[in-house]
């Protein structure tokens, strides 16, 4: 399938500057125009010309800086308001009819109350601005796995970002027939340019509001986001639709919407497998999605870096698509040493947000190169010199880039059929307890591993587990319904998939030795773990049973060429029953917090694990 990129219009798409064939879309747009009172309405076509016109306008108005085209063609820097730099979890709400459907891990408000409050905030919120109508497809156009949405926004930054991150514009409009289901995604930065008295004021580079609400209405499949221009709060196709709303749709329709990357791995023997992997934020997910194997003969290709939609196919196998079309990656820490593929991806056609600007008109951030270039301007627009306590780029500085530019992108990434998933990986950032890799004994154990996925918050003293931040399935901020019900849905999916269910593994690149240093080199060397997982799938290697699951046998693990002392290997896989018991107490507390909906099967797993550990003391 050909796609039309905003930057290389190989297939010009006629702008569709008018209402769609969907009466419900047209009626909603008209209703919103009356509520929001914009100066103008612009139906987005998704063409290169539109991207060019919008970016030129934003440069003129001071909300984008064009980077030096010699270094970074067709690329821009946006600097946000310093109070609008990340997802605002405290302002994020699941407004299901019943509070118990949102569960204790989400903020809940009654839909009617939230809508009444937000309707007043949205009333007139686009005065003096243009209201953009952004029809978009999450997933390849026309795929039975894809879903459609329409975002209304007054942020041109959101428009150009949605153009990169989704299949947006006229081609999405063509998918919207009279009866097509779609998700309504309303967004305003909450900063009207004309007040109630009709007085107009000057705009600022990054308009936003101190009042922020990112509200989801799962039953009616709606998103209302107010007050923030930042990516996760304003590119509504991503976390809001593809995870929070889609997880509810997936529960209702019998599939899975997950915070998972998708890769295609090919062994030296030419065996190809597809893997999906969930990692909490800041655990090297993009690096793994673009892994450059150190093991000779291996190839890893990228299908998605953040979100996977997985659905059983007619043969009963689990198929996945990446519903996105671009990467919204964290810039700091991305460099030649850590992720050369990402560095190559962002050669041009990229929107950077909250990173530093160099003298030569290119961008920079901590970790891009070892030494900072001279004459930097930091993410807030102030001169910056190396050695200052504050960083030059905001730690959550981002790049937004078309996936198609990624040198490791797999041919199948845009395939409407998706790819069959052979294995699912869960990985947290754990200094203690969790081995480098282990295999779940069965699907139910895999769900237990996903449900108890955690990162260690505080440094762990020797023999002690640090405080764990549980991030089940890496979905804590993204699951649109009750967490216990979500685990139950996973268990049911396993029953349905039966023998076709992908195998489940847990990985941990971050285990530390007694001296506090990492035991495993990580990055490209993670291909050794992938090699073991692939050989498990092929039935070529065995496991050693442990409370964690099946562990690799050292003799069967590809260690050649790696300077890993035996003591480090032992430590990477050491199970200390006392420390595991202490961890299991934290898990029990976490299950109690999630409450009565925790599936009995998972509680029983925990009990059995604890008996096993006690017997090993
Ligand atoms: C993200 C996140 O931005 O997971 O992708 O926080
Ligand atoms: Mn993410």
Kindly tell me if the per-residue pLDDT of 112 is higher than 80: yes
The verdict on 381 and 523 lying in the same domain is no
Q: Which residues pair with 468 in a beta bridge?
A: 456
Residue 207, both tokens: 């308009």
Residue 509, both tokens: 């690149």
The runs of H, that is alpha helices, within 411-526 are: 443-451, 483-497
The verdict on 499 and 425 lying in the same domain is yes
Q: Is residue 465 part of a domain?
A: yes
The verdict on 375 and 430 lying in the same domain is no
Instruction: Give the residue from 375, 405, 435 where a domain finishes.
Output: 405
The CA distance from 419 to 430, in Å, is 30
Q: Which residues pair with 66 in a beta bridge?
A: 76
What pLDDT is recorded for position 464? 63
- Condensed to tens digits (0 to 9), the pLDDT of residues 356-383 reads 999 999 999 999 999 999 999 999 999 9
The verdict on 245 and 291 lying in the same domain is no
Angle in degrees, CA 210, 124, 206, rounded to 5: 40
The verdict on 467 and 391 lying in the same domain is no
Q: Is residue 73 part of a domain?
A: no
Q: Is residue 612 part of a domain?
A: no
286 lines ligand 1 (CB under 6 A): no
Instruction: Sort residue 18 into left (φ over 0), alpha (ψ -120 to 50) or beta.
Output: beta
The CA distance from 450 to 472, in Å, is 6
The CA distance from 308 to 278, in Å, is 9
Closest atom of ligand 1 to CA, residue 259: 4
Q: Provide the CATH number for the domain around residue 347.
A: 2.170.8.10
The CA distance from 300 to 39, in Å, is 49
Report the relative pairing of strands 222-226 and 182-188 from DSSP bridges.
Answer: parallel
| For ligand 1, atom 2: residue with the closest CA | 281
CA 319 to each of CA 85, 421, 471, 534: distance values in angstroms, whole numbers, following the listed order: 35, 6, 24, 18
Instruction: Give the residue from 230, 254, 278 where a domain finishes.
Output: 254
What pLDDT is recorded for position 8? 44
The CA distance from 265 to 274, in Å, is 6
- pLDDT > 70 fraction of the chain, expressed in percent and rounded: 96
Instruction: Give the residue from 383, 405, 427 where a domain finishes.
Output: 405
Q: Which residues pair with 133 in a beta bridge?
A: 43, 152
Q: Is residue 144 part of a domain?
A: yes
| pLDDT, greater one: 150 or 461 | 150
Ligand number with the minimum distance to the CA of 399: 1
Q: How many domains does the chain have?
A: 3
Q: Is residue 74 part of a domain?
A: no
Distance 613 CA to ligand 1 centre (A): 35
Q: Is residue 451 part of a domain?
A: yes
What pLDDT is recorded for position 282? 80
| For ligand 1, atom 3: residue with the closest CA | 232
Domain coverage including residue 529: 257-325+413-575
Distance 54 CA to ligand 1 centre (A): 26
- Condensed to tens digits (0 to 9), the pLDDT of residues 484-497 reads 999 999 999 999 99
The verdict on 436 and 450 lying in the same domain is yes
- Condensed to tens digits (0 to 9), the pLDDT of residues 240-267 reads 999 999 999 999 999 999 999 999 999 9
Pocket test for ligand 1, best of 228, 230, 232 (most atoms within 8 A of CB): 232
The verdict on 42 and 21 lying in the same domain is yes
151 lines ligand 1 (CB under 6 A): no
Catalytic residue among 44, 240, 283, 438: 283
Distance 584 CA to ligand 1 centre (A): 27
Residue 128, both tokens: 């003096």
pTM: 0.95
The verdict on 287 and 418 lying in the same domain is yes
The verdict on 442 and 477 lying in the same domain is yes
- Condensed to tens digits (0 to 9), the pLDDT of residues 499-524 reads 999 999 999 999 999 999 999 999 99
Task: Tell me if residue 283 is catalytic.
Answer: yes
The verdict on 396 and 541 lying in the same domain is no
What does the mean pLDDT of the chain come to? Answer: 95
Burial level of 612, CB count in 10 A (0-12/13-18/19+)? middle
The CA distance from 404 to 550, in Å, is 37
207 lines ligand 1 (CB under 6 A): no
What pLDDT is recorded for position 4? 41
Q: Provide the CATH number for the domain around residue 233.
A: 3.40.449.10
Q: Is residue 81 part of a domain?
A: no
Pocket test for ligand 1, best of 88, 233, 234, 306 (most atoms within 8 A of CB): 306
306 lines ligand 1 (CB under 6 A): yes
Q: Provide the CATH number for the domain around residue 317.
A: 3.90.228.20
The CA distance from 423 to 501, in Å, is 8
Kindly tell me if the per-residue pLDDT of 16 is higher than 80: no
Query: Phi first, then psi: what are they for 160, rounded to 5°?
Result: -70, -30
Q: Is residue 264 part of a domain?
A: yes
Q: Report which DSSP code applies to 245.
A: I
The mean pLDDT value for 182-194 works out to 98
The verdict on 567 and 503 lying in the same domain is yes
The verdict on 507 and 420 lying in the same domain is yes
């Amino acid at each position: 399938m050909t796609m039309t990129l905003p930057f290389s219009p190989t297939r010009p798409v006629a702008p569709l500057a008018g209402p769609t064939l969907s009466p419900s879309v047209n009626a909603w747009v008209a209703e919103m125009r009356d509520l929001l009172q914009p100066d103008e309405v612009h139906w987005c076509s998704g063409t290169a010309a539109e991207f060019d016109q919008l970016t030129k306008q934003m440069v003129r108005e001071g909300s984008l800086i064009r980077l030096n085209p010699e270094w970074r063609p067709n690329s821009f820097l946006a600097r946000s308001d310093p109070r609008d730099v990340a997802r605002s979890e405290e302002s994020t709400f699941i407004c299901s009819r019943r509070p118990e459907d949102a569960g204790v891990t989400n903020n809940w408000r009654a839909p009617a109350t939230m809508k009444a409050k937000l309707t007043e905030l949205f009333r007139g919120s686009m005065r003096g601005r243009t209201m953009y109508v952004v029809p978009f497809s999450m997933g390849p156009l026309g795929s039975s796995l894809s879903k459609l949405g329409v975002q209304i926004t007054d942020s041109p930054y959101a428009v150009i970002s949605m153009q990169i991150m989704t299949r947006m514009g006229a081609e999405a409009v063509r998918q919207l027939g009279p009866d097509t289901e779609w998700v309504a995604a309303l967004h305003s930065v909450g900063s009207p340019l004309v007040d109630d008295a009709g007085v107009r004021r000057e705009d600022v580079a990054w308009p936003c509001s101190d009042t922020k609400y990112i509200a989801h209405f799962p039953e009616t499949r709606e998103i209302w986001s107010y007050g923030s221009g930042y990516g996760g709060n304003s590119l509504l196709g991503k976390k809001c639709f593809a995870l929070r709303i889609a997880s509810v749709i997936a529960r209702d329709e019998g599939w899975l919407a997950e915070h998972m990357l998708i890769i295609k791995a090919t062994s030296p023997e030419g065996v190809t497998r597809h893997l999906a992997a969930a990692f909490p934020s800041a655990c090297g997910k993009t690096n793994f999605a673009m892994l450059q194997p150190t093991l000779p003969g291996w190839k890893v290709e990228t299908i998605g870096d953040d979100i996977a939609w997985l659905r059983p196919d007619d043969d009963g196998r689990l198929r996945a698509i990446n519903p996105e079309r671009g990467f919204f990656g964290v810039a700091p820490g991305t460099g030649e040493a850590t992720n050369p593929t990402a560095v190559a991806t962002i050669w041009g056609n990229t929107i950077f947000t909250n990173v530093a600007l160099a003298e030569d008109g290119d961008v920079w951030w901590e970790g891009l190169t070892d030494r900072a270039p001279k004459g930097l301007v930091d993410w807030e627009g102030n001169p910056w010199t190396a050695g200052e306590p504050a960083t030059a780029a905001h730690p959550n500085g981002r790049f937004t880039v078309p996936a198609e530019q990624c040198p490791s992108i797999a041919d199948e990434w845009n395939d409407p059929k998706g790819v069959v998933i052979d294995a699912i990986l869960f990985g947290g950032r754990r200094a203690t307890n969790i081995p480098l890799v282990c295999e779940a004994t069965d699907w139910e154990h895999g769900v237990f591993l996903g449900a108890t996925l955690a990162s260690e918050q505080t440094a762990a003293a020797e023999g002690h587990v640090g405080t764990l931040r549980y991030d089940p399935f890496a979905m804590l901020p993204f699951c649109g319904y009750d967490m216990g019900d979500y685990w139950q849905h996973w268990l049911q999916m396993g029953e349905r998939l039966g023998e076709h269910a992908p195998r489940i593994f847990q990985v941990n690149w971050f285990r530390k030795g007694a001296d506090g240093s990492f035991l495993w080199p990580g990055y490209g060397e993670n291909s050794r773990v992938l090699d073991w997982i692939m050989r498990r799938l092929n039935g070529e290697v065995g496991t050693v049973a442990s409370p964690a699951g099946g562990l690799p046998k050292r003799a069967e693990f590809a260690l050649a060429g790696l300077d890993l002392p035996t003591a480090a290997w032992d430590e990477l896989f050491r199970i200390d029953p006392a420390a595991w018991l202490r961890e299991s107490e934290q898990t029990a507390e976490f299950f109690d917090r999630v409450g009565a909906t925790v599936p009995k099967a998972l509680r029983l797993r925990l009990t059995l694990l604890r008996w096993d550990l006690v017997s090993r003391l």
